[in-house]
Amino acid sequence: MPGSLNDKRVAILVTNGFEQAELTGPKQALEQAGAKVEIVSASEGQVKGWNHDKPADDFKVDLTFKAANIDQYDAVVLPGGVQNSDTIRIDPDAQNLVKGFEAAGKPIAVICHGGWLLVSSGLVKGKTMTSYKTLKDDLVNAGANWVDQEVVKDGTWISSRQPDDIPAFNRELISALSA
């Protein structure tokens, strides 16, 4: 419902090459529900989205990974995109942020290839989650229970497979923040 998240703040962590729909879809749904959403990245300036394998739009970065503090946020969203996910997974500041969200018990919402950051941060062991099908082996090898569903909720974690799943992903994320 519009306005139900007026007191909530959400960080979306990305680097260049994120799947644009996996940022814009959740961002729009969260903002329509009243949340304040910020794009957080490795450096100031702008980040470039992609539509699958083609460059798309530029987005203003609100804060860097290093400057962001999990106390400022109620949840984190991790869009996919192969280039983004392969870059962000080895960024120690991004890893520290997701570890902080997990330690604080705050929602972590991940879609598509975004799970690579959670694998590289050592957080997926024992979690039931989904992802784009090509990440299945990585998640299983890191100790996750991988399932093929449009959206999976495990504790404070919400995961989805791909852009087609964004409506279900958004519903679960908004529900988690409304609780």
Catalytic residue among 112, 119, 158, 173: 112
Q: Which residues, 6 or more positions from 179, have their beta carbon under 8 angstroms from its beta carbon?
A: none
Q: Is 50 a catalytic residue?
A: no
Token pair for 40: 């957080």
Token pair for 84: 């983004």
Give backbone dihedrals phi and psi of 34, rounded to 5 degrees, phi first.
105, -5
Catalytic residue among 8, 89, 113, 161: 113
Q: Is 52 a catalytic residue?
A: no
**Complete DSSP assignment for 138-178:** HHHHTT-EE---SEEEETTEEEESSGGGHHHHHHHHHHHHH
Query: Do the Cβ atoms of 174 and 5 come closer than 8 Å?
Result: yes
* Distance (Å) of CA 23 to CA 30, 140, 141: 11, 25, 27
Q: Which residues are catalytic?
A: 112-113
